[in-house]
Amino acid sequence: MAKKYEGPAIGIDLGTTYSCVAVWQEQNNRAEIIHNDQGNRITPSFVAFTHDQRLIGDAAKNQAASNPSNTIYDAKRLIGRKYKDIQNDIQLWPFKVIAGIDDNPWILVNYKGKEKHFFAEEISAMLLTKMREIAAKFLESPVKNAVITVPAYFNDSQRKATVDAGTVAGLNVMRIINEPTAAAIAYGLQKRTNCTEKRNIFIFDLGGGTFDVSLLTIKNNVFEVKAVAGDTHLGGEDFDNRMMNHFVEEFKRKKKVDISGNPGSLRRLRNSCERAKRILSFAVVATIEVNALFQGIDLSSSITRAKFEDINMDLFEKCMDIVNRCFVDSGMDKSSVDDVVLIGGSSRIPKLHQLLQEFFEGKELCMSINPDEAVAYGAAVHAAMLSVKSIPNILLRDVIPLSLGTSIKGDIMDVLVPRNTSVPITKKKTYFTDVDNQSRVLIKVYEGESSIASENNLLGLFSLSLPLAPRGLPIQVCFAIDKDGILNLSAEEETGGNKKNIMLTNEKERLSTEELERMIQEAENFEAEDTKLEHKAKAMNDLNDYLCHVRKVISDNDVGSLICPVDKLKIYTAVVKSQNLLDGNKHEETHVFVDFLKEFQNMVDSALYKISKGV
Ligand code: AMP
């Protein structure tokens, strides 16, 4: 089969707390996880704004405690959601989020001394840009094509918003695939090659902010999802929050001070809690030490694994309820599962292993694939499959995570496509007008499981003009869901053989073309600024290296003593000037360093030339 995409194609796992990028390496016949500029294979999903630059990844996370209100994380918890739906998160974030147009959340930051607002799509786009650049550096070639993963439980708005973020990042999003499906591909390829017998695989994916489970069957190269379940708001950060609250209360009790209103102290406490949580995955007790946590008072304490489990038990049980729901939906018995595969950083928590083993009646859990990298690995395999000729095709059959339907009289949810239906799929249904001479009909499309339509997620509201006719005029509504789970709607009215077809897409929920163009332009401006900063850093480094070299030369007795006093004075003056330039670099342009370096080199070369000629 001809491949549709030209050029390199990468797989990106855009995580709540960490992101990871991978690419298929034909020569090794495997996907390669690409390390970032710090040498790390995963990159924190953090973006920070300072008085003079924007930082992404490790650099942003490292300065979070000193710049909490301008360090943005959790964009994945914001993307594709409405302001009214994120009220609980807002209480916990040290950065400001306000309601923008159409109740879309706007993230407020202070950048270069000015207040600026960003959509979650823009922050995600910055992270995707970083991952694209990491890949481009590794491949030594520009990268455009990407497969991006999302939690299986992401709704339609969240998926579309992720595609928009990819577009803003200058990527051609070849496909959006579900994280557990990507992990299953990685598992199938790494551990079950030549799987000719049908195997039932259960993927348990608990990350930093989202939880997904997925039940699939693998046979040959066909990956068929049977059912998914999850919660886009459950993960490692919730466990960190619980531990943080525990220590905030303890600090209040023991030291009589309340740190809950201090974002800097909370950030430092959060970092320590996250570290302690990781330790508790292999030790039974972890210490917490934070110097001068608040008003110069230190925090020095510890937490046992038992306490950690106790304060999070309801969340762990919530995970297990979701596991159970997946089996109920699939109609499959848990005893028919061949492999239980754990992925996502939080799947390392021992209590969850115990609960899962109990659920699967003592079955061994598969923890042999890297839980932080499996999703990006699978995405890279899929990306290669779409673009590299030599990769065998994998057939993915996914399902929709939430039921889709319309609102009918009495605010009732009329489900057209039940959750866990395989996609792609097209479903049509005919409705009838219920009054004479109705001039238009309003079609409301919802996603969710409540029988009361308005309690579900409103995907779109469409008005269709009708010709004057007695009641009972048929209107056909068509739901077409593509292989990425993205919904396209059409409504059509048929009278006297006259067909009127209207393609409807839910533009109100998505970014407008103008907004997208503005974001793309802004992303290009940011990239240009980053390049400018990189050039400046290089020019400064070059000058610094040369300065060190000259200092060595003039302090070398054999050479230094031969330089004539006039030249020596000039060189000393240039050394001082270089140092001053480097120390007070903030406002100088790149060319100042480049020009000065040239002048400096000429001066030193001329002095050395005179020595060599015995002048
Ligand atoms: P992911 O989104 O898959 O990158 O997972 C990130 C989450 O995994 C973060 O909340 C981490 O704190 C958590 N995590 C990573 N390693 C461990 C560990 N050893 N024990 C518990 N949680 C972990």
Which helix (H) or strand (E) covers residue 153, if one does? none
Catalytically annotated residues: 13, 76, 179, 205
What mean pLDDT, rounded, does the chain reach? Answer: 90
580 Cβ partners below 8 Å, 6+ apart?
Answer: none
336 contacts 198 by C-beta, under 8 angstroms: no
Residue nearest to atom 16 of ligand 1 (CA): 345
Interatomic CA distance for residues 417 and 40, integer angstroms: 42
Q: Is residue 508 part of a domain?
A: no
Instruction: Report the C-alpha gap between 391 and 28 in whole angstroms.
Output: 12
Nearest atom in ligand 1 to the alpha carbon of residue 343 is: 3
The answer to whether residue 347 is domain-embedded is yes
How far apart (Å, rounded) are the C-alpha atoms in residues 22 and 14? Answer: 12
| Final residue belonging to a domain, choices 267, 282, 312 | 312
Residue 374 Cα to ligand 1 middle (Å): 14
Domain membership of residue 267 as a residue range: 236-312
- In the chain, what is the greatest distance between 2 CA atoms, to the nearest angstrom? 110
Query: Could you tell me which residues come within 8 angstroms of residue 324 by beta carbon, excluding any fewer than 6 positions away?
Result: 359
> Which among 422, 433, 432, 429 has a CA at the least distance from the CA of 445?
429
pTM of the model: 0.85
Asked whether residue 4 is assigned to any structural domain, the reply reads no
> Is residue 207 in contact with ligand 1, taking CB distance under 6 Å?
yes
pLDDT of residue 138: 96
Residues 74 and 108 occupy one common structural domain:
yes
Same domain, 240 and 230: no
What's the pLDDT score for residue 586?
A: 63
DSSP letter at 171? -
Q: How far apart are CA 19 and CA 23, in angstroms?
A: 14
Ligand 1 proximity of 74 Cβ (cutoff 6 Å) = no
**Does any ligand 1 atom lie closer than 6 A to the CB of residue 305?**
no
Tokens of 258: 């309340």
Residue 94 tokens, joined: 């040290």
Q: Select from 347, 379, 397 the last residue of a domain.
A: 397
Q: 405: Cβ below 6 Å to ligand 1?
A: no
Where residue 304 sits, what CATH number does that domain have?
Answer: 3.90.640.10
- Supply the pLDDT for residue 506: 46
Ligand 1 atom closest to residue 239's alpha carbon, by position in its atom list: 10
Q: Is the pLDDT of residue 499 over 80?
A: no
> Residue 543's pLDDT band (boundaries 50, 70, 90)?
very high
User: Which protein residue's CA is at the shortest distance from atom 4 of ligand 1?
Assistant: 18
Cα–Cα distance for residue pair 377/226, rounded to 1 Å: 22
SS (H, E, C) 65-93: HHCHHHEECCHHHHCCCCHHHHHHHHHHC
Asked, for residue 321, whether it belongs to a domain, the answer is: yes
Q: What is the DSSP letter of 451?
A: S
Q: If you average pLDDT over residues 136-150, what whole number do you get? A: 96
Alpha helices in 401-496 (DSSP H): none
**Which of 346, 351, 372 has most ligand 1 atoms within 8 Å of CB, for mutation?**
346
In the chain, what percentage of residues exceed pLDDT 70? 95
Residue 389: partners with Cβ closer than 8 Å, 6 or more residues away: 3
User: What is the Å distance from ligand 1's center to 124 Cα?
Assistant: 20
Assigned domain for 1 exists:
no
Ligand 1 atom closest to the Cα of residue 282 is 19
d(CA 7, CA 431): 47
Is residue 496 domain-shared with residue 529, that is, in the same domain? no
Ligand 1 pocket test: which of 17, 238, 284 has the largest number of ligand atoms within 8 Å of its C-beta?
17
CB of 13 closer than 6 angstroms to any ligand 1 atom: no
Surface-to-core class of residue 91, CB atoms within 10 Å of its CB (0-12 exposed, 13-18 middle, 19+ buried): exposed
Amino acid at 159: R
Which residue is listed with tokens 């001068």?
292
Residues 272 and 418 grouped into a single domain = no
CA of 13 to the centre of ligand 1 (A): 14
Taking 70 as the threshold, does the pLDDT of residue 193 lie above it? no
Same structural domain for residues 299 and 435?
no
* Cα gap 511→447, rounded to integer Å: 19
Give the distance (Å) from ligand 1 centre to CA of residue 239.
Answer: 10
Lowest mean pLDDT among 2-6, 386-390, 598-602: 2-6
CATH code for the domain of 360: 3.30.420.40
Residues 6 or more apart whose Cβ sits within 8 Å of residue 260: 248, 266
Residues 374, 380, 383, 387, CA torsion sign: negative
- Provide the CB-side half-sphere exposure for 472 (13 A, CA): 1
CB 316 within 8 A of CB 351: yes
* pLDDT over 90 (residue 520): no
- CB contact set of 106 (below 8 Å; sequence gap of 6+): 97, 98, 99, 100, 117, 118, 119
CATH of the domain at 603: 1.20.1270.10
Domain end (from 336, 368, 397)? 397
Looking at this protein, which amino acid is placed at residue 339?
D
* The pLDDT of residue 504 is above 50: no
Could you tell me if residue 127 is inside a domain?
yes
Between 601 and 530, the more confident residue is: 601
For residue 507, is pLDDT > 60?
A: no
How far apart are alpha carbons 136 and 128 in whole angstroms? 12
Phi first, then psi: give them for residue 417, nearest 5 degrees.
-125, 105
Residue 248 lies in a domain: yes
CA 280 – CA 286 distance, rounded (Å): 6
Question: Shortest CA distance to 387 belongs to which of 564, 565, 587, 173?
Answer: 173
Q: Is the pLDDT of residue 389 over 80?
A: no
**Is the same domain home to 294 and 357?**
no
Question: Domain of 417: which CATH number?
Answer: 2.60.34.10
Residue 423 lies inside a defined structural domain of this protein? yes
Contact by Cβ (8 Å): 327, 215: yes
Q: Are 294 and 257 in contact (CB under 8 A)?
A: yes
Q: What phi-psi label fits residue 228: left (phi over 0), alpha (psi between -120 and 50 degrees) or beta?
A: beta
User: How many domains is the chain built from?
Assistant: 4
- Residue 270: the pLDDT is 95
CA of 207 to the centre of ligand 1 (A): 6
Res 510: pLDDT = 61
Phi, psi of 301 (to 5 degrees): -155, -175
Average pLDDT score over residue span 161-186:
93
HSE value, Cβ hemisphere, 13 Å, CA-based, for 328: 8
- Tell me what pLDDT residue 476 has: 87
Atom of ligand 1 nearest to the CA of 20: 4
Does the Cβ of 15 fall within 6 Å of ligand 1? yes
pLDDT, position 213 = 94
Q: Which residues, including other chains, have CB under 8 Å from residue 156's CB and lie 6 or more apart?
A: 447, 457, 459, 485, 486, 487, 506, 509
Residues 218 and 159 in one domain: yes
Query: CB atoms < 10 A from the CB of 575, how many?
Result: 16
CA distances for 88 relative to 8, 84, 233, angstroms: 41, 9, 11
Ligand 1 midpoint to CA 209 (Å): 10
Q: How many CA atoms lie within 13 A of 83 on its CB side?
A: 13
Q: For atom 22 of ligand 1, which residue has the closest CA? A: 346
Answer left, alpha or beta for residue 295, where phi above 0 means left and psi between -120 and 50 means alpha. Answer: left
Is 261 found in the same domain as 228? Answer: no
The reply to whether ligand 1 has any atom less than 6 angstroms from the CB of 349 is yes
Residue 62 C-alpha to ligand 1 middle, in angstroms? 17
Q: And the tokens for 490?
A: 């059409």
Statement to judge: residues 355 and 370 lie in one domain: yes
Residue 237 CA: nearest ligand 1 atom is 10
Q: What are the pLDDT digits (tens) for 53-111?
A: 999 999 999 999 899 999 999 999 999 988 988 998 898 899 999 999 888 999 999 99
Contact by Cβ (8 Å): 442, 463: yes
38 and 96 inside one domain: yes
- Inter-residue contact 299 to 271 (CB < 8 Å): no
Same domain, 18 and 155: yes
- 179 and 79 fall within a common domain: yes
At 443 the pLDDT is: 86
348 lines ligand 1 (CB under 6 A): yes
